[in-house]
Each structure stands twice: as C-alpha cells, then as structure tokens.
Amino acid sequence: MAKTLSILFVSSEVYPFAKTGGLADVSYSLPLALRELGHDIRVMAPKYGSISERKNRIHEINRLRDIPIPVGENTALATVKSSSINNPRSKVQAYITTNTNYFDANKGFYADPSTGVDYEDNDERFVFFNRSVIQTCLLLGWVPDIIHCNDWQTGILPALLRLQHNDVFAKTKIIFTIHNFGNQGDFGLESISRTGFHESNADALSHKEKVNFMKAGIHFSDCITTVSPTYAKEVLTDQKLSNGLSDVLNRRAEKMLGIAHGVDLNTWNPKIDPLITKKYDKSSIEDKAPNKETVLERFGLPIHSDKNVPLIAMVTRINEQKGIQLILDAAKDLMSEDIQFVMLGEGDHSFYPELKALTNKYPEKFALKIEFDDELAHLMEAGADMFLMPSLYEPCGLNQQYSLVYGTVPIVRETGGLADTVRDYNPENVEGTGFLFPDYTAKSMMQAISRALELYKNPEAWQALVINGMNEDRSWGRAARQYSELYRALMKDTF
C-alpha cells in the first residue's frame, strides 16, 4: 500500500464552522475524502465572531494558548482551539485560530455584513491567521508532508514558510489552490510592512503596484491548482478571467493543474437529506413534488394545482460573477414565460433594489430572499425543476453538480467548471444532462431557457433528462484521488 501522507489543509472557510460559498464545502468534503484514502489530514481555519464555540464543540488546547504572533510592529495573541469535522465514516481534526480583535469582533468573514464593504485590516487579519498556522505546527512539533493552501486568504503562507521558516519546512511541499481569481487579496504597498517581509521581497509579493497575496501564493508554492480543467486553461490565456494574473501564472504554467470538485453525498443527497420535505431518489422522482410545494410556500408564491408550472431556482452569491445582471436584462422576456422563479442569495447591495423591484412587479412569479439559509438551499435543490447559473465566469461551481444529484436540470453558461460538469442536452440521442449557452448575453441565456421550457412540456422526455443527470457519478472520490496522486508526485519531485 502507498505510504500515507501528513497533510495540513488551510482555509478561511470550513463547513460547518463558516461558509459564504463553495470554498467552505470543499474545505469540508475534500479533507474527509482524503482521510478516507488513509491520509493523516488536519484542517485549520479562523474563528469569526459569528461562529459559536459551543455549537461547534470548539475546545481549548493547553499547549496552544496565548501564542504571540507578530503582525507588523505589533504582537497579537492567538489561542488555537480544537474541534473536528465529521461524516458518518470519518473524522478530521480541526485547529481553529481565535483572537478577539481580528476575528471575534467581526461577524463577517471578509466584509462588514451590513454594508458589504471589506474590513480595512484584512491584510493584518490574514497575516495573523497564516502566522498562527506556522506557530501551531511548531508548537505541536508537527511538520506535515504537505501544506495545502486555499485562495488569497492563505496566499502569504507559502512566502512565510519559504522565506522565514524554511529551516523547518524545507521538505514540506506546498500546494496552492485558487478557487476564484476574482478576489486576490490586494492591498496598498505599505502593507508589506504588515506582512513582516522586507522591501526587497516586494517583487515577489506585489503585482501592479499593490501587495497581492494571491500572486505571493503562486510565486512561492510548489504547485498551483485551480478548480476545473477549463478554468485552468481560461485563466492562463484570458487576463479578464485571471483578473490580471495570466502573465504571473504563465511563468509557472508547468506547475499548474485543474481538478474539478465532486459532491459530498453525505450532505447533498436527496435520498438521505434531512433538510428536505420528502426524500427521494431516481426511482421516486415524483416525490420532488412535496419539496416544490414547500419551496413555493416558503417564498410566498402561489401553488398551481391545476397545471404544471416549471420552477426555476437560483442559490447564489449576488454579484457580477454570478450573472445577476443577465437576470435583470432578461427579466421582461423571462417573466412573460409561464414559469415561477425563486432566488436565494446575498452579496453586492447595488443589485438589491432592481431585484426587489421584480418581486413587486411579478409577485406571483418572482420571489427573492436576501439571506444565507443552508436549509432553504437544500430545499430549493430538491424542489425546483430547473437550476439557473448564468455566470460570467465560474471556476468550478457546486450548485450545478448538486442540481444533477437532485434531479434538478441545470441551465448554465458554458464557462469554467460549468462547461466541465454539465453536458448539453441533445434531443436526437437523448444524451446530455442540462442546457448550456455560450454567450454572456440575455439573448443567449433565454435561448437555453426556452429549450428547457419546451422540453419540460414533454414529461417523458424531461424525466429521461433528469435521470441522465442523476445517473452520473459525482462523488468526491475521483477528485480526492487526483489530489492524492498530485501530493505523492510532489513528494517524489515528479510533478
């Protein structure tokens, strides 16, 4: 049997402690899937003010109390606590960094929830977190084979490991997974002093006259992954999609790989999901119906018992990336169809007034909830007929994969991970799992929606499409094996 590896997985969001999006789901499911492959994997995350220690069984550890952490000229204290993430088959140790000023004092993770504006000291907050990761390893006397970093919030960690602690971590391989180039952790150049690095390191740590934590992660890691093969190609060639980092990436292109996520079938599975009204599988698809009723009730939309009106759902961060503008642009055409539409999301406040206006204009058809509600997200996956993701770009995307598992037909823009995980329906051979559209325009989106609505009128053909999606193996096993192989290749210096 291949040697098992020791792995520290570092993330700013880990479900169920903290979640704003897919990163949290991945930081839960992937470590558990890697544990099931036999690795000694542990996760580490910060404890924001909104996380309950009691509910999440977060306990103190004597050895990791009041650890002095330098941040710029100052020193702050980190108390690293212990918890675990679990599924019915395995358990993974979690270390949680706590600190009053940087984390407890803020309910939001990166931005003030009441305004949506980023916290001013995000550079300090995540330098503090990353340094606490290193101190935890040192105090535990644990030098992992692999340190797996995720997104800009951990981008400075590879630099700290290589430039300041390489005596201890020289043999540790560092992998940096980029879940989204949209946010890179860029700060004014004065931020260098807060990172604790010297001006002479500015080139490696900055990009376009700004300190850039993501660039630092790309520069100092042994390997960079993004979260789908198509997105990996897109960001190497398209400056817009890499948000200006294509050149930096190209310098390290031979160390780059795209691995698409899977679905955690312990959490997202209509057969066993405790959060939905009625459980079902592909032999009892009719049991989606009670879930649809609950969704309509929860959103205050009428239930049409005399006709079958398709229900389209979106569960999404509300921002430019997720294609909210296309919904606004297409609203008139979309609402002239015989459909009902439910949207759950929060994010960029500037979209709220126009979205709310739609609820007033089409009260029987369009309903919106601006909040984060995990239970309702599950219910919507179960109850909707179609799930819409008109993303401007999409690194991987989980919701379209959840939709396939729940027999809810995805209608998605052909970009990034959406293109990798949804196959366009072909009426001639009844192949495919959803509907794709090429262009980021309301017209292109409406063409795909029209194709879906047309097919929906034919229940037998629709059911065949639904079953195609439910038949696919979307479990995490494949992706976990790919990461495991990558770790081993890094250890052997063959990647």
At closest approach, how far in Å is the CB of 182 from ligand ADP? 9
**CB closer to ligand ADP out of 20 and 441:** 20
**CB closer to ligand ADP out of 99 and 421:** 421
Q: Counting contacts by CB under 6 A, is residue 377 touching ligand ADP?
A: yes
At closest approach, how far in Å is the CB of 410 from ligand ADP? 11
**CB closer to ligand ADP out of 279 and 317:** 317
User: Do 316 and 322 meet the contact criterion of CB atoms below 8 Å apart?
Assistant: yes
Fill in the DSSP letter of residue 477: H
Q: Which two tokens stand for residue 265?
A: 């079938």
Number of helices and strands in the chain (H, E) = 18, 19
User: Do 417 and 305 meet the contact criterion of CB atoms below 8 Å apart?
Assistant: no
For ligand ADP, the nearest residue by Cβ is 22
At closest approach, how far in Å is the CB of 373 from ligand ADP? 5
d(CA 205, CA 215): 6
Distance of CA 290 to CAs 6, 272, 305, Å? Answer: 45, 15, 12
At closest approach, how far in Å is the CB of 474 from ligand ADP? 13
Contact string (CB under 6 A) for ligand ADP, positions 421-460, x = contact: ----------------------------------------
**CB closer to ligand ADP out of 212 and 316:** 316
Q: Counting contacts by CB under 6 A, is residue 374 touching ligand ADP?
A: yes
- The residues near 200 (Cβ < 8 Å, ≥ 6 apart) are none
Amino acid at 298: R
Find the DSSP H helices in 178-257: 191-195, 202-205, 213-220, 229-237, 246-250
Q: Counting contacts by CB under 6 A, is residue 273 touching ligand ADP?
A: no
CA geometry: angle 389, 394, 397, nearest 5 deg: 70
Amino acid at 262: G
Q: Which two tokens stand for residue 116?
A: 């949506």
**CB closer to ligand ADP out of 310 and 397:** 397
User: Total residues contacting ligand ADP (rule CB under 6 A)?
Assistant: 18
User: CB atoms < 10 A from the CB of 120, how many?
Assistant: 10
At closest approach, how far in Å is the CB of 10 from ligand ADP? 17
**CB closer to ligand ADP out of 331 and 344:** 344
Q: Counting contacts by CB under 6 A, is residue 372 touching ligand ADP?
A: yes
At closest approach, how far in Å is the CB of 53 from ligand ADP? 22
- 409-413/386-389 β-pairing: parallel
**CB closer to ligand ADP out of 177 and 316:** 316
**CB closer to ligand ADP out of 257 and 344:** 344
Nearest Cα residue to 337 out of 424, 446, 411: 446
Fill in the DSSP letter of residue 223: E
Range in contact with ligand ADP (rule: CB under 6 A) among 20-28, 66-74, 136-144, 438-446: 20-28
At closest approach, how far in Å is the CB of 396 from ligand ADP? 6
Note the residue count of the chain: 495
At closest approach, how far in Å is the CB of 344 from ligand ADP? 5
d(CA 165, CA 159): 9
At closest approach, how far in Å is the CB of 140 from ligand ADP? 31
Ordered DSSP codes for 251-264: TTGGGEEE----B-
Residue 395 host element (H or E): none
User: CB atoms < 10 A from the CB of 127, how many?
Assistant: 26
In terms of Cβ atoms closer than 10 Å to its own Cβ (0-12, 13-18, 19+), residue 325 is middle
Range in contact with ligand ADP (rule: CB under 6 A) among 217-225, 230-238, 285-293, 368-376: 368-376
Q: Counting contacts by CB under 6 A, is residue 108 touching ligand ADP?
A: no
**CB closer to ligand ADP out of 317 and 478:** 317
Phi and psi angles of residue 396, each rounded to the nearest 5 degrees, phi first: -135, -60
Q: Which listed residue (7, 10, 12, 22) binds ligand ADP by CB under 6 A?
A: 22
Q: Counting contacts by CB under 6 A, is residue 185 touching ligand ADP?
A: no
Q: How far is CA 293 from the centre of its chain?
A: 28
- Identify residues 304-363 at the interface with ligand ADP (CB under 6 A): 315-317, 344-346
At closest approach, how far in Å is the CB of 488 from ligand ADP? 27
**CB closer to ligand ADP out of 27 and 206:** 27
Range in contact with ligand ADP (rule: CB under 6 A) among 71-79, 83-91, 277-285, 371-379: 371-379
At closest approach, how far in Å is the CB of 12 from ligand ADP? 12
Q: Counting contacts by CB under 6 A, is residue 373 touching ligand ADP?
A: yes
Distance of CA 121 to CAs 114, 158, 210, Å? Answer: 17, 20, 15
Phi and psi angles of residue 25, each rounded to the nearest 5 degrees, phi first: -65, -45
Instruction: Find where tokens 């004597």 sit.
Output: 62
- Identify residues 390-409 at the interface with ligand ADP (CB under 6 A): 396-399
Given the rule CB under 6 A, which residues bind ligand ADP?
21-23, 25, 315-317, 344-346, 372-374, 377, 396-399
